Every structure is written in C-alpha cells, then in structure tokens.
Structure 1
Amino acid sequence: MAAAAVLLVAPAAVACGDDSGGGGDSDPPKPSAEKSTPDTPSEAPSEDAPADPAAAEKQVKENFEKFFDPAVPVKDKEAVLENGAKMRGVLESFSGDKRGKQVSADVTKVEFSSATGADVTYALTLKGATALPDASGTSVNQDDTWKVSVKTLCALVKLSGNESPGPGC
C-alpha cells in the first residue's frame, strides 16, 4: 500500500516545474519513518520559532491536511503550497489522478527549525488506511502563510521512482 501511495504523484512528476527550486540545489527531504527527538518542544518560544508558535503550528497542521485532502479544489491547494501558482501543473495532475483522490494526511508533529521553517511529521493515508506512517516533510512561511514546501512534494515524487521529476523538483 505504501508503494501505491507514493505512486500517486508519479503522473504529476513530468509537470513538476518551478524555476525557484523551492530551496536551491539541495536535495529534497526524504519522507521517512524515523522520528527525531526535538531539542525544544514546538510549544516553547525560542529564537528559532515564529512569534506565536501555537498559532503557527495550528496553521501548519491545517494547511498540510488541506493540501492532501481529496475534497479540496486545486485552487485552494495551490494557496497552501509553496510557489503554488508555479506548481499548478503538478497540482492538476495530482488532483486528477485516481489515487490522488484517495489520499489524505494527518499531521502528528510540527517542530520549528526557524521563524519561517518547520519540520512536519505526518501519516499519509490511502483510502483511510495508513500507507506512510511518520512521514517527514517541511513547511515554509511564504507571504505570511505556512505552506507545504515544494521540497515535500518533490520528495514524494522522487520516492515514486521518478529520478527526473523536472525543473524545481
């Protein structure tokens, strides 16, 4: 089932184009089942956290889950994806795929790495069954909104076996 969940983004891989790269030439984070131990809890304010960590964590969770909600229209998913307008082709392919309509995510942990970045642990489900428990992704604050990072989407595309997902991935 995990392979099926990962393959859901394969049809979108060819359309994956974002000249900004969502973070440069660095490799995207790889979804993993490993859990890391935080240095500081996400609830504790620090120099490496947003001004209101509780509100930011709530928005990260809501937007991550919205992005993976099959009932949410592409236009709304675009608004919660980093560089969403540039990634429209990927979103349209993702939303048009039969398996894409059966996938959702449940965020279990948000850990801020900076005032504008967070590591997100989530369970990816396919037709209600957990396909990728404890998957890892990232969220970025872009235009005062916490969004699913392009790196997270591209990591899922790479995990599907597509080694050349296109510019931006």
Structure 2
Amino acid sequence: MVFERPGRRPRLAALVAAAVLVLTPAVASCSDDGEGRSTDLETSAPPGMTALPPDADEPDDPAAAEAEITENWTAFFDPKTPVDQKVRLLENGEEMRDVLGAFAGDKNAAMTSAKVTGVEFTSDTEANVTYDLLVGGNPALPDAQGTSVLQDDTWKVSVRTLCGLVEMSGVTVQGC
C-alpha cells in the first residue's frame, strides 16, 4: 500500500513501487536451501557469556567505518556500479548474484539510488543505516532503515536490507 504525503508526487511513489516490483520475478526464481545464512542461534553467545566484550558496541575507528559504510552503500545502490562490484558490497553477495543481475538490466532500477543519512553502530561488526531511497534524484522512500555488516573486512549492505526492499511488494521471495 502506498501512502501519499501532502506535497509529494504520486508518480514518484509509483516509480519506487515499480522499481521494487520489477525484482520480484527474478528473485522469486532463486532458490535457497538455507545454507550460508546466519541465524540468531549461530551468532549468539553461550549461556552466561556475552557475545561481545564490554564497550565493543562500535568498531575501533567509528569515523572510518562510517565513511566506508556510506561509500559502499552509495556504490551498491548506484545503477552504474557493475554487478561484480555489487556482489563484493553485499553480504553473501555471491549467493545473490542472480538477484543483482536482475537489477542491472532494468530501466526503473537504473533511476534508483540511495543516500546515507545516518549510521548507528550496534556492535563492532553491525550498524543500523538510515538512508533515503532516491528515484531520479528525488526521495521516494525517505528515512528508510537498513543494516550494514562487517564481512571479510568490508562493511557491506546486509542481505536482510536488500530482501526487505524486494519484499516491499508483498511477495515472499526464496533466498531472502
């Protein structure tokens, strides 16, 4: 369901919906056997122990990490970024290569980008990211929430964020 804000152009909301919906067929064809995905059980600490040492709620150099997150999110959502690079900027990106390839050839996706407006670290390897999803340079989904994860020494867009955008169409997608 799309809600129109006073002063917003309904056409912009329609373009965002179209950009999200175009991914559904390509993503729905992907399969997932559950391997390679982390769960809360896999990443939680044993009873009586904390998962992180005290004061480990941010990386050693938060300013550098925030700059890398911003740079990588901007590149990931840039339609001019090649699929191979997007794979490197997405958590478990190789597993999502087909989905990313579907973005590459779509004219609506070619008008979509993102601008990071805030980063809040939840641990030394995870961060909440606030961003504006832009269509044609105009905010279509302002103050969207996503997550970034540190994987292989690179801050990446989480699969959960990508799948959340795809699933905005109301469709459950295999692989997400």
Per the alignment, residue 95 of structure 1 pairs with 104
| Aligned equivalents of 1:149, 1:127: Cα separation in 2 | 24
Note the C-alpha offset of 1:22: 4.3
Higher helix share: 2
What is the number of residues matched between the two proteins? Answer: 148
Q: Structure 2: which amino acid aligns with 1:12?
A: A
Q: Are 2:146 and 1:137 aligned?
A: yes
TM-score scaled by structure 2? 0.77
Structure 2 residue runs of 5 or longer lacking an equivalent are: 1-12, 42-54
Q: Structure 2: which amino acid aligns with 1:61?
A: T
Q: Which has the higher contact order (CA 8 A, sep 6+)?
A: 1
Cα offsets for 1:45-88 (capped at 9, x unmatched): x4200010000000001111111001111011111000111110
SS of the aligned residue for 1:82 comes to coil
Matches within 5 A, 1:109-128: 109-128=118-137
| Aligned equivalents of 1:15, 1:88: Cα separation in 2 | 12
Q: Give the number of the structure whose alpha-carbon radius of gyration is greater.
A: 2
Per the alignment, residue 21 of structure 2 pairs with 7
Q: 1:13 to 1:125 in 2, by over 3 A?
A: same
Q: Mean alpha-carbon deviation: is it higher for 129-138 or for 11-20?
A: 11-20
TM-score scaled by structure 1? 0.80
Does structure 1 conserve the Cα–Cα contact (< 8 Å) formed by 2:27 and 2:98? Answer: no
Matches within 5 A, 1:18-167: 19-20=34-35, 22-24=37-39, 46-163=55-172, 165-167=173-175
Structure 1 residue runs of 5 or longer lacking an equivalent are: 27-45
CA RMSD of aligned residues (A): 1.9
| Aligned equivalents of 1:154, 1:124: Cα separation in 2 | 15
Does structure 2 conserve the Cα–Cα contact (< 8 Å) formed by 1:17 and 1:86? Answer: no
Note the C-alpha offset of 1:9: 3.0
